[in-house]
């Protein structure tokens, strides 16, 4: 363990070689005016080692190469998911979700979510997703301008999610704020407070649906049995919160980065409108080009990794940016190239803990491209000088102002 100084940084433990220490804050890797993704590539290129240690956020390791990122995310025997962010929550604090478990406890919960958010289920929901996207875009079109975060990107995935779980649309903004704070909160206390607020909202809903006959996903969670026994109230709440995180936060942020990119490149927009196959390939490339999640794991036992000794209970972060933007895996990684052949894209995670909402998120992105571009084909940034990106467990743009001729 590390000793934490008064400024929130930790002194390197004895097993950390001095040459492995780097002053990198994974939640704020970019300097003033620096492109967020270019900053990650700069950190990657400046590191002579595949694994580094930073004193920020209590002190933790960072996998600096794409292969190492995938290894950390997929190897549950060496890296535990019970702590998904840094700094690690103090012992005794409430865990953030029933799915943050390692095998074998993880399996029945994962099977349930895989069924509830499977590609087949998502395909069955496509008509509703498309209708909601068209409604939102048609309402925006005559205005000639929008703030894309609050007017579209936050609204579409949350509206779709509320249909899946049968919750009132009037609670949309409140649930979005709590979910975002659970994964983007400035510190453990903020994330814990948001989690508790979500839990207090969901607990009575789940209790009421335990004895009901509803076919929504919250009703299914409330009636779920694991190893022949009903899930506890706390397990049901944890699973419901994990479902919120799976269905909402990542795709909402991704949509904003995609719209910002399209606003800058009219030729890309034009080709996507003309060539449906190119548009579909572009949707995949967008998920590679804009990796926005920083995941972390707890080291389960003393191991050698990346040429250095990691000790039991050390934390290690696996930024998806350092996989998707690794030039050894993706030449010219900052270039947007839908012709790429990408075997693994880490934006939604990797391995058994890959985000169960990935299929839903991809479909929402594809539908957005298919319905936005024909209706608002020519749009631009209201402020081309640049957009602010906030880092965190999930990076985001807090605001994106777009304009077009109505």
CATH at 118:
1.10.630.10
Compute the distance between CA of residue 139 and CA of residue 278 in angstroms, rounded to an integer: 27
Total domain count for the chain?
A: 1
Give domain status of residue 119, yes or no: yes
- Is residue 1 a contact partner of residue 29, using CB atoms and an 8 Å limit? no
Q: What is the spatial distance between Cα 305 and Cα 319, in angstroms, rounded to a whole number? A: 16
126-135 as b/e: b if 16+ CB within 10 A: eeebbebbee
Q: How confident is the model at residue 185 (pLDDT cuts 50, 70, 90)?
A: low
Residue 58: how many other CB atoms lie within 10 Å: 17
Tokens representing 405 are 């001729």
Has residue 344 been placed in a domain? yes
The label of the residue with tokens 């930790």 reads 10
Structure tokens at 24: 């990198």
Reported confidence tier of residue 6, pLDDT bands at 50, 70, 90: very low
| Rounded (10°) CA dihedral 354, 360, 364, 367 | 120
Give yes or no for a contact between 336 and 52, defined as CB atoms under 8 angstroms apart.
Answer: no
Rounded (10°) CA dihedral 66, 68, 70, 74:
180
Only one residue has tokens 């298919």, namely 370
Q: Is the pLDDT of residue 364 over 60?
A: yes
Task: Decide if 61 is inside a domain.
Answer: yes
Q: Is the pLDDT of residue 1 over 50?
A: no
Residue at 12 is within a domain: no
Contact 264, 386 (CB under 8 A): no
Instruction: Supply the DSSP symbol for 117.
Output: T
CA distance 251 to 184: 14
* Rama region for 386: left / alpha / beta (φ>0; ψ in -120 to 50; rest): left
Q: Which residue has tokens 């535990």?
A: 80
- Tokens found for residue 118: 């499977």
Average pLDDT, stretch 302-324?
98
Highest mean pLDDT: which range of 32-46, 73-87, 100-114 = 32-46
Q: Is the pLDDT of residue 245 over 50?
A: yes
Mean per-residue pLDDT for 192-220? 91
- Helix, strand, coil: what percent of the chain each, to 5? 50, 10, 40
Res. 217 pLDDT band, cuts 50 70 90: confident
CA 59: distance to chain centroid?
A: 22
Q: Where do the H-state alpha helices sit in 211-355?
A: 217-222, 233-247, 249-264, 266-274, 276-289, 321-324
Looking at per-residue pLDDT, the higher value among 158 and 185 belongs to 158
Q: What is the pLDDT of residue 91?
A: 59
Asked whether residue 365 is domain-assigned, the answer is: yes
Q: Output the six-digit token pair for 231.
A: 């899930």
Kindly report, residue by residue over 317-327, the tens digit of the pLDDT. 999 999 999 99
- Mean pLDDT, the chain, as a whole number? 90
Other Cβ atoms less than 10 A from the Cβ of 2: the count is: 18
Cα Rg, the chain, nearest whole Å? 21
Average pLDDT in the 250-263 region? 96
Model confidence at 117, pLDDT cuts 50, 70, 90, reads confident
| Residue 272, strand partner residues | none
Residue 403's SS3 state is: strand
Short-list 122, 91, 51, CA closest to 355: 122
Does residue 7 lie in a domain region? no
State which residues form the domain around 280: 18-404
pLDDT at residue number 99: 57
Reported as a single tens digit per residue, the pLDDT across 259-278 is 999 999 999 999 999 999 99
Global confidence as pTM: 0.92
9 part of a folded domain: no
What pLDDT, on a 0 to 100 scale, did the predictor assign at position 246? 67
pLDDT of residue 354: 84
Rounded distance between C-alpha atoms, residue 103 and residue 125, angstroms: 30
Q: What are phi and psi of 226, to 5 degrees?
A: -120, 120
CA atoms within 13 A on the CB side of 260: 25
Residue 211: pLDDT above 90? no
Q: Which two tokens stand for residue 376?
A: 């608002």
> Cis omega (within 30 of 0) on the bond before 87?
yes
| Average pLDDT of span 359-388 | 94
Residue 242 lies in a domain: yes
Share of the chain above pLDDT 90, in %: 63
pLDDT digits (tens, 9 = 90+) for 63-104: 999 999 999 999 999 999 987 789 886 655 555 455 567 877
């Amino acid at each position: 363990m590390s000793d934490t100084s008064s400024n929130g940084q930790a002194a390197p433990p004895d097993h950390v070689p001095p040459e492995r220490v780097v002053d990198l804050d994974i939640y704020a890797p970019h300097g003033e005016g620096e492109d967020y993704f270019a900053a990650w590539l700069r950190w990657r290129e400046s590191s002579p080692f595949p694994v580094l240690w930073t004193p920020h956020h209590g002190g933790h390791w960072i996998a600096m190469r794409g292969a190492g990122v995938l290894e950390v995310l997929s190897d549950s025997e060496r890296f535990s998911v019970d702590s998904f962010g840094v700094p690690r929550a103090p012992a005794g604090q409430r865990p953030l979700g029933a799915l943050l478990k390692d095998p074998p406890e993880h399996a029945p919960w994962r099977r349930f979510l895989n069924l509830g958010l499977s590609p087949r289920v998502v395909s069955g929901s496509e008509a509703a997703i498309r209708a909601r996207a068209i409604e939102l875009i048609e309402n925006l079109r005559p205005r000639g301008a929008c703030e894309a975060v609050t007017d579209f990107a936050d609204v579409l995935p949350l509206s779709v999610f509320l249909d899946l779980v049968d919750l009132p649309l009037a609670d949309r903004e409140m649930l979005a704020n709590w979910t975002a704070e659970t994964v983007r909160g400035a510190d453990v206390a903020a994330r814990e407070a948001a989690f508790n607020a979500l839990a207090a909202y969901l607990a009575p809903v789940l209790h009421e649906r335990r004895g009901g006959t509803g076919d929504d996903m919250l009703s299914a969670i409330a009636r779920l049995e694991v190893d022949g026994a009903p899930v506890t109230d706390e397990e049901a709440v944890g699973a419901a919160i994990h479902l919120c995180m799976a269905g909402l936060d990542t795709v909402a942020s991704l949509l904003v980065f995609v719209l910002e990119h399209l606003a800058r490149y009219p030729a890309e927009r034009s080709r996507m409108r003309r060539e449906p196959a190119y548009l579909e390939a572009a949707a995949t490339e967008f998920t590679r080009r804009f990796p926005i999640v920083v995941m972390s794991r707890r080291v389960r036992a003393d191991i050698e990794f990346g040429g250095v000794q990691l000790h039991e209970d050390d934390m290690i972060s696996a930024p998806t940016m350092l996989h998707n933007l690794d030039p050894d895996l993706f030449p010219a990684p900052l270039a947007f190239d839908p012709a790429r052949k990408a075997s693994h894209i880490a934006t939604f995670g990797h391995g058994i803990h890959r985000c169960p909402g990935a299929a839903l998120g991809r479909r929402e992105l594809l539908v957005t491209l298919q319905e936005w571009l024909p209706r608002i084909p020519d749009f631009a940034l209201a402020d081309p000088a640049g957009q602010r990106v906030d880092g965190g467990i999930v990076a985001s743009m807090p605001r994106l102002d777009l304009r077009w001729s109505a």
